[in-house]
């Protein structure tokens, strides 16, 4: 595999992960560039699990930038990939609006998570990595990946339920008629 083939194979995954973690297109592009510079300076041909190794570099670069700039609290941009997907398909306006609202809600919930939990959720659902690949990427045990994912989803569910109307949460609502 040449460097160009490596870049072409992993560029989209790296950029998507960077964008989800950083919520800024320019930062995502910069970190994506830095990731591949780092990869190409290493002996990448000798790496057995190349995708996991590249994603570990990606997550480390993103987390370092988040810590440096503390941009976690100022992320209010819309999810770019969802917009591109909905624009490419022929969906009704109502469907597009509902999907965008759902994506924005997901984005808000994701951004409220601590960095460690956000990293696991991003790698699992955005990067589509397996539990073992996430463990390898973050250099943590698979059990820790599972517990962080469970905790993150539980926190997100709790926040989502606290914003819903009582009748949507299964509570009985008796009003005067």
Predicted confidence band of residue 63 (pLDDT cuts 50, 70, 90): confident
Mean pLDDT of 27-56: 92
| C-alpha span between 134 and 129 (Å, rounded) | 6
Within 8 A by CB and 6+ apart from 60, the residues are none
Give the 3-state secondary structure of residue 59. helix
pLDDT of residue 49: 86
Q: Rounded to the nearest 10 degrees, how much is the dihedral formed by the CA atoms of 72, 12, 38, 49?
A: 110
How far is CA 93 from each of CA 3, 86, 89, 98, 100, rounded to the nearest angstrom?
42, 10, 11, 9, 11
pLDDT of residue 138: 86
Q: What are the structure tokens assigned to 67, written together?
A: 């810590």
Express each pLDDT in 71-110 by its tens digit.
Answer: 444 443 444 545 555 455 555 566 656 666 666 777 777 7
């Amino acid at each position: 595999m040449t460097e160009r083939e490596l870049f072409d194979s992993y560029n989209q995954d790296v950029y998507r992960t960077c964008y989800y973690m950083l919520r800024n297109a320019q930062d995502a592009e910069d970190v994506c560039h830095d990731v591949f510079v780092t990869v190409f300076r290493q002996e990448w041909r000798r790496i057995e699990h190349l995708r996991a190794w590249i994603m570990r570099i990606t997550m480390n670069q993103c987390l370092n930038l988040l810590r440096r700039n503390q941009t976690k609290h100022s992320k209010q941009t819309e999810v770019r990939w969802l917009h591109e997907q909905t624009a490419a398909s022929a969906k009704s306006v109502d469907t597009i609006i509902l999907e965008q609202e759902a994506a924005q809600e997901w984005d808000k919930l994701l951004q409220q998570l601590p960095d460690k939990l956000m990293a696991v959720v991003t790698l699992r659902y955005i990067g589509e990595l397996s539990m073992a690949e996430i463990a390898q990427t973050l250099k943590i045990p698979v059990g820790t990946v599972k517990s962080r994912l469970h905790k993150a989803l539980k926190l997100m569910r709790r926040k989502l339920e606290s914003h819903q109307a009582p009748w949507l949460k299964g509570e009985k609502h008796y009003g005067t008629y």
